[in-house]
Amino acid sequence: MAKSTLPSLFRQPQWPNADCFANPNGQMLTILPTPMAKCTPSCHVDEFADRTEMNILLRKLKKITKINFNNVSHAHGMISSSGSTLFEELGLYYIGPVDGHNMNDLVAILNEVKNTETTGPCVIHVVTEKGHGYPYAERAAAKYHVVSKFDPATGEQFKAKATTKSYSTYFAEALIAEAEADKDIIGIHAAMGGGTGMNHFLRRFPTRCFDVGIAEQHAVTFAAGLACEGFKPFCAINSSFMQRAYDQVVHDVDLQKLPVRFGIDRAGLVGPDGCTHCGAFDVTFMACLPNMVVMAPSDEAELFHMVATAAAIDDRPSCFRYPRGNGVGVELPPGNKGIPLEIGKGRILIEGERVALLGYGSTVQSCVAAATLLGDLGLHATVVNARFCKPLDHSLIRSLAKSHEVLITVEEGSIGGFGSHVAQFMALDGLLDGKLKWRPMVLPDCYIDHGSPADQLNEARLTPSHIAATVFNLLGQAREELEVMTKEKCKEGVQFSSPEMYKVA
């Protein structure tokens, strides 16, 4: 995409002397698996070939800055058979590589580029090293890609000790268990082996795990091709990065009804990763596809079952979303081997009356906690784990709508997601024509900035207290609504459900 913009830049007469910076920093979030580890990915500019011929602007700068460009090397893969760089073939002046950490030379070059008359745009190739100058970051660039609080003297990051593993790790363990029994299962990720847990899969199955680089579009089409040949590809991509590959998901996978399995990591709010990485939209854009099975686990045990479910689906594509962070601490299935779930079937966790809380994914935990708050004030609510957004459990939703005064759907996703699908069904089924009060609780229609997970949930008004307060508001019980909002907030990390509650029925 970046390369395709260069001709556009060249053809703009209103930008005759525009400057463009190419800044490779030698950093990937994960190292490519052997034998690709010995090669430089095409999307990175790390190795250089000698070049002696200089363009006119370069020779001018050489005289002024007294930098010997005769031995300057150019990016590997950027030189054509004619000896010109990719940029020069597009009509752009090319300068570099320049040491981005030598500020004197860099400033001198920038000043001269600014003051020198040219006949077109100029590309300045500035090479930097991620974490340069800070030894701890230089030694562990991937670890310092997203930095939590740390001791500047030792580089030690202050992270709370977790009693459970991350959802990404649980996903990898579930996939490994499936792959042990099925040689056709293939793992694919886009330069996110550590972030998605695929590095664990790589260590167990080095010939069945593919890192395609930062190219989600290619990852999806590659998975589609494997599915055509009878393999069972699992494509692990962050929710926010899946947006890049949506065209391929639609045309190369869903339109052809190919059984590609998508593990959508970092779904929902992502705390310190901020709004750019927030997984708010995946349910909305995946559940609108005609052939896609869309599901979300309420905890890590159910994630194992959904990986098994996806492995068993062989006639259409499927996806399952799971959040950033660690599991809630429920018991895992024996041998890490999940049991395929019945497609499109939810599950009642708590039988109550008057009010039904229909949670999707990780918000099921909040619904259970909200039911506890309601129970303390004399109201016993029904709590349901939806499991599937597509296909919906129509019979279960119909039963809830007919037997309760209030129905609230809760999800950590944007407008147009799970709640919208429930509303569509209920409207067409006539369930909204009577006295039922239905409300969707979703992420607000805005981008939520960096913060702790607890602060972000509070800003999104998706905490157990907010759910309980919404119930009392719909029932016209203002005193109870005020009381539940003034109570002490539920502490982070509390397990609101027993392991038995999530055993496969």
Cα Rg, the chain, nearest whole Å = 27
pLDDT of residue 122: 83
- Which tens digit of pLDDT belongs to each residue from 368-419? 999 999 999 999 999 999 999 999 999 999 999 999 999 999 999 999 999 9
242 and 305 assigned to the same domain: yes
Q: Tell me the residue ranges of DSSP E strands in 92-167.
A: 93-99, 122-127
Beta-ladder partners of 279: 268
Q: Are residues 326 and 352 in the same domain?
A: no
**Residue 43 resides in a domain:** yes
Encode pLDDT of 338-369 as tens digits: 999 999 999 999 999 999 999 999 999 999 99
From the list 273, 201, 278, the residue with the least C-alpha distance to 235 is 201
Q: Are residues 24 and 111 in the same domain?
A: yes
DSSP track, 400-457: HHHHEEEEEEE-SS-TTSHHHHHHHHHHHTTTTSSS-EEEEE---SS---S--HHHHH
- Phi-psi label, residue 325: left if phi above 0, alpha if psi -120 to 50, beta otherwise: left
Per-residue pLDDT of the chain (505 residues; tens, 9 = 90+): 555 555 555 555 555 556 666 776 665 555 444 344 443 333 332 332 333 233 444 445 544 444 433 334 344 444 555 445 677 777 778 888 889 999 998 999 888 888 877 667 788 889 888 888 888 777 777 666 666 677 777 777 766 677 899 999 999 999 999 999 999 999 999 999 999 999 999 999 999 999 999 999 999 999 999 999 999 999 999 999 999 999 999 999 999 999 999 999 999 999 988 899 999 999 999 999 999 999 999 999 999 999 999 999 999 999 999 999 999 999 999 999 999 999 999 999 999 999 999 999 999 999 999 999 999 999 999 999 999 999 999 999 999 999 999 999 999 999 999 999 999 999 999 999 999 999 999 999 999 998 889 999 999 999 999 999 999 999 999 888 888 887 744 444 444 444 444 344 5
Is cis: bond before 35, omega within 30 of 0? yes
**In this predicted structure, what is the pLDDT of residue 488?**
47
CATH number at residue 386: 3.40.50.920
Task: List the Cα angle 5/10/13 in 5-degree steps.
Answer: 125
Alpha-carbon torsion, ordered 468, 473, 477, 483, to 10 deg:
50
Q: How many domains, in total, are found in the chain? A: 3
Q: What is the 3-state secondary structure (H, E, C) of 69-105?
A: HHHCEEECCCECCCCCEHHHHCCCEEEEEEECCCHHH
Whether 417 and 471 map to the same domain: the answer is yes
Report CA 335 to chain centroid distance, whole Å: 27
Question: Is 145 inside a domain boundary?
Answer: no
User: Which among 358, 362, 406, 361 is positioned nearest to 384, based on CA atoms?
Assistant: 358
Q: Report whether the peptide linkage leading into residue 206 is cis, meaning its omega lies within 30 degrees of zero.
A: no
Assess whether 320 and 425 both reside in one domain.
Answer: no
347-350: strand order across its sheet? 347-350, 382-385, 354-359, 404-410, 437-441
Q: Which amino acid is at 198?
A: M
**Domain end: 303, 336, 369, which one?**
336
- Is the same domain home to 243 and 313? yes
Domain boundary among 336, 368, 386: 336
For 368, residues 6+ apart whose C-beta sits below 8 A from its C-beta are: 349, 350, 359, 383, 496, 497, 501
The verdict on whether omega for the bond into residue 97 sits within 30 degrees of 0, i.e. cis, is yes
Which DSSP state fits 504?
Answer: -
The alpha carbon of residue 19 and the mean position of all alpha carbons in its chain are separated, in whole angstroms, by 32
Contact 329, 164 (CB under 8 A): yes
**Got the DSSP string for 452-493?**
-HHHHHHHHT-SHHHHHHHHHHHTT-HHHHHHHHHSPPPPTT
Residues 353 and 311 in one domain: no
Do 286 and 432 have their domain in common? no
| Residues catalogued as catalytic | 130, 216, 244
**Pairwise CA distance, residues 124 & 94, whole Å:** 6
Instruction: Say yes or no: 233 and 308 in one domain.
Output: yes
- Residue 276 maps to which CATH number? 3.40.50.970
Own/partner long-range contacts of 251-257 (Cβ < 8 Å, ≥24 apart): 252/220, 252/221, 252/224, 253/220, 253/223, 253/224, 253/227, 253/317, 254/289, 254/290, 254/291, 254/292, 254/317, 255/291, 256/224, 257/291, 257/315, 257/316, 257/317
Per-residue confidence (pLDDT) for residue 350, from 0 to 100: 98
First-residue to last-residue Cα distance in the chain? 47
Task: Note the pLDDT of residue 479.
Answer: 86
Query: Is 174 found in the same domain as 68?
Result: no
Full residue range of the structural domain in which residue 54 is found: 19-127
The answer to whether residue 100 sits within a structural domain is yes
The pLDDT of residue 309 is 99
Burial 417-449 (b: 16+ CB within 10 A, else e): bbbbbbbebbeeeebbeeebebebbbbeeeebe
The reply to whether 331 and 351 lie within a common domain is no
Q: Is residue 141 situated within a structural domain?
A: no
Q: What is the pLDDT of residue 161?
A: 76
Residue 82 lies in a domain: yes
- Angle among Cα 240, 238, 137 to the nearest 5 degrees reads 100
> Is 140 a member of any domain?
no
Asked if residue 271 belongs to a domain, the reply is yes
Q: How far is CA 392 from CA 130, 223, 283, 361, 363, in A?
A: 46, 26, 13, 14, 17
Residue 353 domain-assigned? yes
Question: Which residue, of 298, 313, 336, is where some domain finishes?
Answer: 336
* 223 shares a domain with 289: yes
